Amino acid sequence: MSVPAVLVLGALAKSASAAVASTFTAPAAAPTDTSPFYVGASNGTIQNTPLVPGAVFDRFIQIWLENTDYAQAASQAVFQNLSTQGILLSSYYGVTHTSEPNYLAAGGGDFWGLYNDVLEYIPTNISTVVDLLEQKSISWAEYQENMPSDGYGGFNYTNSDNYTYYVRKHNPLVIYNSVGLNSTRAARIRNFNDFAVDLGNNTIPQWVFVTPNLRNDGHDTSVAFAAQWLQYWLIPLLQDPNFNTPRTLILLTFDENETYALNNQVYSILLGGGIPPNLKNTTDDTFYTHYSTISTVEANWNLGNLGRQDTNKTVANVFEYVANVTGYKNNGLTGKSKLPFLNITTTIPGPLNPQYYVPYLAPNTSGTGGGNGMTFVASGTNLTLNASDAPAPVNLTANSTMTTSGAIGGFIQADLLVSVIGAVFAGALLL
């Protein structure tokens, strides 16, 4: 364990919220070191299934930063320098506002109508990218900075300095009960001390989601502060063969654009040893969204699909250099005026929309994803409750409180009770 060091990295950050000091403080000498600041001790080295080669890459690492408009990120030297080492994705979009629904989209292929950051538990029979990966024995993990213990289910965590660094709303998979409430799977949602140990033992899995804490991801600070964290954490790791192999693809992105009145474009870069040399320092104008992270993984490992927005050809283009190898046909959408609006909130119906409700529907089993595999159908799924038979969305705003089940098929489990408003429709919802 190393003594924390303060890195002074260029100009002081211009803080958006000024909640905290704007100078980044490194938690350790290097990201390869554990730190008491990360709270939980390491839980030992992660155990992985043998490597499963993909068509284009063997490891996919996503790193999500927070709430930044495209132009702000593009003005930072760190992002400019990184873009010369990879492919700048000039038409990548968040899928809605606020944060939590964007993270849910990357985990399960939908955001279920959610438009806030409240405590949610998504029913066990709603599947995620983990189901697809595990079908092919592809190892995976999340690394959540300042999450106190592996698989921690709490809403947030406050360090001994009384600052809340970790939030569940930025942890996509823990919110899905099929992961968060399954102890085997939840143990793969790990903290940054585990990351240091997994890195040291060269056991970083094949699918990885990285969430820096609320300061380092720019949420409570600014994009300039997040850039300082990248300088400490990502820049050296790009040179670390236990992190960035010649077959590694890294996506650096943001959950959402800060200005709701504009469509939801976020600055995103593809990086890593897996980027073909002739594509480094290039720009890809293809229209991508957070759903592209799922469809690209499906294409690379020829997985099944979730039958959600990962199979929606409008919003799930596969990263082009991958699509070109696997033969996936992208939709050719370009030009801001032709793109769908992905800044819409409150009016998209769903089981997590408290005023405009439809129940969880069955996945679309006739959908095709990035790969050729079948739609994953979790046990306990009523396939009859599909989009064509769905009850019309119900505007519940003015009605009284009731409780209903969120599960497809309508059976009630303690872990998936959600409160919605609108007793009139109890019959349709309680099934």
- Which residue ranges make up the site for ligand NAG (CB under 6 A)? 40-41, 43-45, 69-71, 84, 134, 149-150, 155-156, 161-162, 164, 167, 182, 184-185, 187, 197, 200-201, 257, 259-263, 265, 279, 281, 312, 314-315, 320-321, 324, 340-341, 343-344, 347, 355-356, 382, 384-385, 389, 395, 397-398, 409-410, 431
For 244, the enclosing helix (H) or strand (E) is none
C-beta of 8 vs 80, nearer to ligand NAG: 80
The answer to whether 186 touches 179, Cβ cutoff 8 Å, is yes
Smallest gap, in angstroms, from Cβ of residue 127 to ligand NAG?
11
Q: Which residues pair with 268 in a beta bridge?
A: 89
- Provide the H-helix boundaries in 267-376: 291-301, 320-326
Whole-angstrom distance, CA of residue 166 vs CA of residue 155: 9
The answer to whether 294 touches 316, Cβ cutoff 8 Å, is yes
Active-site hit among 150, 198, 220, 255: 220
Smallest gap, in angstroms, from Cβ of residue 130 to ligand NAG?
7
For residue 220, indicate whether it is catalytic. Answer: yes
- DSSP state at residue 351: T
**Angle, CA 371 vertex, CA 367 and CA 376 arms, to 5°:** 55
C-beta of 8 vs 420, nearer to ligand NAG: 420
Smallest gap, in angstroms, from Cβ of residue 232 to ligand NAG?
19
C-beta of 8 vs 143, nearer to ligand NAG: 143
Whole-angstrom distance, CA of residue 19 vs CA of residue 415: 35
C-beta of 192 vs 232, nearer to ligand NAG: 192
- Provide the H-helix boundaries in 176-238: 177-180, 183-186, 192-200, 223-232, 234-237
Q: Which residues pair with 167 in a beta bridge?
A: 156
Smallest gap, in angstroms, from Cβ of residue 313 to ligand NAG?
8
Smallest gap, in angstroms, from Cβ of residue 391 to ligand NAG?
8
Q: Which residue is nearest to ligand NAG (CB)?
A: 200
Smallest gap, in angstroms, from Cβ of residue 422 to ligand NAG?
11
Whole-angstrom distance, CA of residue 217 vs CA of residue 227: 9
Q: Which residues pair with 402 in a beta bridge?
A: 420
Q: Where are the beta strands (DSSP E) in 7-79?
A: 59-65
C-beta of 8 vs 79, nearer to ligand NAG: 79
C-beta of 231 vs 311, nearer to ligand NAG: 311
Written as one string, the DSSP assignment of 378-392 is -TT--TTS-GGGPPP
Radius of gyration of the chain (CA): 21
Q: Catalytic site residues? A: 220
